[in-house]
Amino acid sequence: MSANISRKQFIRNTAIAAAALPLGLSTLNAAPATSLSTAAATSLNDAPPAQNTGLPEAEPSQKPDPAAAPADDKLSISIFSKHLHWLNYKDMAALAAQLGYDGVDLTVRDKGHVLPENVAKDLPKAVEAIRNAGLEVYTITTDIRTADEPHTQAILKTAASVGIKNYRMGWYGYTGKGIQADLETFKKDLKGLATLNEKYQIHGDYENHTERFGGPIWDLWLSLKDLDPKWTGIQFDIRHATVDGAEAWPRNLELIHNHLGSITIKDFHWEKKDGKWTTQNVALGQGMIDFKKYFRLLKQYGFKKPISQHFEYPIGGAESGGRKLSIPKDEVISHMQKDLQTLKGWLKEAELG
């Protein structure tokens, strides 16, 4: 093996070459999906034995090596593991590698791939499976909202110990007590998390989301502007930014771009149903988001951070984190592959990466 090729890249290249299937994983498609009830799902690592994907076994390691962690300021594309809850760690990693992702954005939250109460035991296992497939964990998605919640420190400490450098927080909601009063509370909570983030050397992102604190962007900026962006920032969601900001989202992005820690990718359009306008999630390129303009702006701002790709439109239950699919697995995989290729095409056109 050439000294210029890392062990991780060698494993990934070998696995993909061995699979050599355009939609791939034919053996995985032929096998039943991993299905767990909420009560039985102590973690997805307790699922039945890994399905035969046709990919070669990577040499085992004792535990994830923090030295193998992702470099700072690297643009990467990960698949959000919420959409792979029907697979255990090994099969999830194999499929993500086969599709062509750089990593997996792991759900470390209630009903996720890793449950908060089991994080010290299960997160290292999940990371090991992903790295053995030649991929990386550039970010994880949590429900962390404050520094003093029961599992906050355990999650951040464990994530840092296996070399994870970024996580997404849980959302805050306005209480009706008044915007200024709520903002003071949110600022205090974010400041407490910023202190923990620095302690564990991990960056925390808050995702802007419609109908929640952060949806309009300006309120989140007011809460972040006095915090060090090295430790606390935003996971910018262009879908929600367009819903809330329409033509204003470029100005909102300009306002908060110094705090970008990661971004999410998904598409939508407006649709009138029963006399009421509602949002309809769709495949990439089928909606109204101006991705080409978005990526041009990200290029201008020198964006080199994790990208998490989401699939919120109907794909057999995978869109909502289902444990069991209602359509054939090859259809789900086809949608994911098409969206990833669309995204990669846009990034190449924008010369991002």
Helix runs in the chain, H state only: 7-19, 26-30, 89-99, 119-132, 152-161, 179-200, 218-224, 238-245, 249-256, 291-300, 329-349
Mean pLDDT of the chain: 86
* DSSP bridge partners of 272: 277
Q: Please report where in the chains the tokens 């929640």 appear, as a residue.
A: 212
Residue 353: predicted pLDDT: 72
Write down the pLDDT at residue 4: 45
d(CA 104, CA 84): 10
Across the range 97-112, mean pLDDT stands at 98
The pLDDT value given to residue 124: 98
Residue 212's contacts (CB-CB under 8 Å, 6 or more residues apart) are 171, 172, 173, 174
Residue 40 has pLDDT above 90, yes or no: no
The structure's pTM equals 0.85
- 74 pLDDT tier (thresholds 50, 70, 90): confident
Higher pLDDT residue, 120 or 45? Answer: 120
Percent of residues, the chain, with pLDDT higher than 70: 79
pLDDT 10s digits, 289-309: 999 999 999 999 999 999 999
Taken in order of first residue, the domains within the chain and their CATH numbers are 7-349 (3.20.20.150)
Q: Which residue has the higher pLDDT, 6 or 122?
A: 122
Once rounded to an integer, what is the mean pLDDT over residues 219-236?
98
Beta bridge partners of 269: 280
Pick the more confident residue, 58 or 294: 294
| Choice among 62-76, 158-172, 270-284 with the minimum mean pLDDT | 62-76
Q: What is the pLDDT of residue 337?
A: 98
Q: How far apart are CA 233 and CA 227, in angstroms?
A: 8
Whole-number pLDDT of residue 292: 96
pLDDT above 90 (res 243):
yes
Residue 35 predicted with pLDDT over 70: no
Q: Which of 322, 265, 339 lies closest to 111 in space, CA to CA?
A: 322
Q: Worst-scoring range by mean pLDDT, 40-54, 170-184, 301-315? A: 40-54
**pLDDT of 46 above 60:** no
pLDDT band of 260, cuts 50, 70, 90:
very high
**What is the Cα gyration radius of the chain?**
20
- Give the span between the Cα atoms of 316 and 324, in whole angstroms: 8
Q: Cα–Cα distance between 64 and 131 in angstroms, integer? A: 8
| Rounded percentage of the chain residues whose pLDDT exceeds 90 | 78
What integer is the mean pLDDT of 68-97? 89
